[in-house]
Structure formats: C-alpha cells, structure tokens
C-alpha cells in the first residue's frame, strides 16, 4: 500500500480543515491518506481520513508547560505523529537522539511515528548525502515497533526544487539497504520536498518509494486531490 502524508505545518484553521476533509469524503483512495494537522485542529479525529500530529512531547503529563504528551494524543485518538521534521531539527534543535526518544514515546502510546530524515544543501553539494542519511536513519528510528520513514532533503522543502527521479531512486535504495541491516526493510519510506501533482507521476513508480509527504500542496483540495488521484 502507498501512503500520502499531508503536513500542514503551522497553517490552517477550522474552516480550512472542514473544507479539505469535506472534499476528500467522496474519494475512495487506494492510498492511505494521513493529514498531519496543528494540535489546535486535532479535536475531532473521527474522520474518514486518518489524522496525525506534527510533534510529541519528550515528557509524560506533568509540569511541562506548553508540551503535548503522548497520553494526550492517544486520548484524542491520534494514530500518527511526525517526529524529527527538518524544521523541528533546525528551529528547535532536535537531535537524532531526541527524535528516537519521541518515536519511542509515540509507540508506547500506540501511535505510529513518521520519522523524518534529510541532508542539508551543503551536505548535498559536498557529496555527503549517503553518509548523512545512513547515520540519521540508524540514530533516529525506534528499535522495536512499526514506523514510517520520510526522506525529505532540506534543500527540496518549500523550494520548488526536487532531486531527479534517479537521485531519489538511489537514496531510497540506500535507505532500504540500511533498514535491512536492522531488519526493518518492511517499513514504508516516503519521499517529501516540493511534491505536487506534476511530479508525483514521475516519482510514484520509483522502487522503494512507498508514497509521499507533502507540505504546501496538502493545504488545499485543488492541489491535494490531484495527487491522491495520481496515486490511485
Ligand atoms: P513542501 O511540500 O511544501 O516542500 O514541504 C515538504 C515538507 O516539509 C513536508 O513535510
């Protein structure tokens, strides 16, 4: 099965959520569509489309002002959570160790973590992508339990620039081989970074690409629905 994860980041409001979910209702996607919304829009998770969060606290319930714990997400009925998105790594200084810890906390609460990895533009230009990706992967994924990997090169996020299909194929092969060394090769691996209806047709049949993680194009039905249709 293919996966399509929409990541709304710090965008959207109640009206926009209703509008998008309404437009997805009549679709019968063969793809597993997951919409990762800001915490403020996760009040009603009894939707046809699975909803996910974009972060989870490192801490249990208690004196941790501003944190949203795993128990709270579980209570809401959240089934997925993004951990280690490049924006969290960059603006909130999240390390691989923190990401792994968050992934474990998600699993303890019955929530599947979507573990993000991806090299920076400098690392890409210096030819370090392979080594960076392997290390990020091995240090960020949980030891036991199900997870999803999202490969999102930092330089492709929000830029309109993507790797070529050949480059995506070669990195996803490395991710697959690396997952194999820890007996996790069955875990789905998604590509993310400037995904749109146009390039999904080029990328969907690449070996070891099990779907996509989409930012901007997931915000509106006009751009999100065509991606779902392309994947059917
Ligand atoms: P864009 O699709 O807007 O490039 O964002 C990608 C992303 O960060 C999804 O998590």
The reported pLDDT for the residue numbered 28 is 85
- The minimum-distance atom of ligand 1 relative to the CA of 9 is 10
- The minimum-distance atom of ligand 1 relative to the CA of 194 is 4
Query: Percent of the chain at pLDDT above 90?
Result: 94
Give catalytic status of residue 85 as yes or no. Answer: yes
61 CA distance to ligand 1 middle (Å): 30
The reported pLDDT for the residue numbered 48 is 84
* CA 148 to chain centroid: 8
Q: Classify burial at 84, counting beta carbons within 10 Å of its beta carbon; exposed 0-12, middle 13-18, buried 19 or more.
A: buried
Cβ of 7 below 6 Å from ligand 1: yes
Instruction: Please report, for residues 65, 89, 116, 189, the alpha-carbon distance to residue 95 in angstroms, rounded to integers and kept in the order given.
Output: 21, 6, 12, 20
Return the CATH number of the domain spanning residue range 3-231: 3.20.20.70
Marked catalytic residue, from 85, 124, 172, 208: 85
Residue nearest to atom 5 of ligand 1 (CA): 215
Structure-token pair, residue 204: 């969907």
Cβ of 214 below 6 Å from ligand 1: yes
The reported pLDDT for the residue numbered 46 is 80
What is the per-residue pLDDT across 131-164, written as a single tens digit (0 to 9) for each?
999 999 999 999 899 999 999 999 999 999 999 9
* CA 132 to chain centroid: 18
Burial 207-223 (b: 16+ CB within 10 A, else e): ebbbbbbbbbbbbebee
Cβ of 198 below 6 Å from ligand 1: no
Contacts of 21 (CB under 8 A, 6+ apart): 35, 47, 48, 49
Probe ligand 1: pick from 6, 9, 53, 88, max atoms within 8 Å of CB? 9
Marked catalytic residue, from 94, 124, 152, 208: 152
Most confident of 16-25, 27-36, 42-51, 212-221: 212-221
- The minimum-distance atom of ligand 1 relative to the CA of 159 is 4
Probe ligand 1: pick from 7, 161, 197, max atoms within 8 Å of CB? 7
Distance CA(184)–CA(214), nearest Å, equals: 24
What is the per-residue pLDDT across 67-114, written as a single tens digit (0 to 9) for each?
999 999 999 999 999 999 999 999 999 999 999 999 999 999 999 999
The reported pLDDT for the residue numbered 91 is 97
The reported pLDDT for the residue numbered 133 is 98
């Amino acid at each position: 099965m293919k996966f399509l994860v929409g990541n709304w980041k710090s965008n959207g409001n109640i009206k926009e959520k209703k509008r998008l979910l309404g437009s997805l209702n009549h679709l019968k996607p063969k793809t597993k569509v997951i919409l990762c919304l800001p915490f403020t829009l996760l009040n009603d998770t009894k939707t046809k489309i699975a909803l996910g969060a974009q972060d989870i606290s490192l801490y249990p319930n208690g004196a941790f002002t501003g944190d949203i714990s795993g128990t709270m997400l579980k209570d809401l009925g959240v089934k997925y959570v993004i951990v280690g998105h490049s924006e969290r790594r960059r603006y909130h200084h999240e390390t691989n160790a923190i990401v792994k810890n968050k992934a474990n906390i998600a699993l303890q609460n019955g929530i599947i973590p979507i573990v993000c990895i991806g090299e920076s533009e400098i690392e890409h230009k210096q030819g370090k992508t392979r080594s960076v990706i392997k290390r990020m992967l091995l240090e960020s994924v949980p030891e036991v339990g199900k997870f999803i990997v999202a490969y999102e090169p930092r330089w492709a996020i929000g830029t309109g620039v993507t790797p070529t299909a050949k480059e995506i194929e070669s990195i996803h092969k490395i991710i697959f081989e690396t997952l194999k060394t820890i007996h996790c090769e069955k875990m789905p691996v998604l590509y993310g970074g400037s995904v749109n209806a146009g390039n999904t047709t080029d990328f969907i049949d690449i070996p070891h690409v099990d779907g996509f993680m989409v930012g901007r194009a997931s915000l509106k039905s006009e751009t999100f629905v065509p991606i779902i249709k392309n994947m059917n």
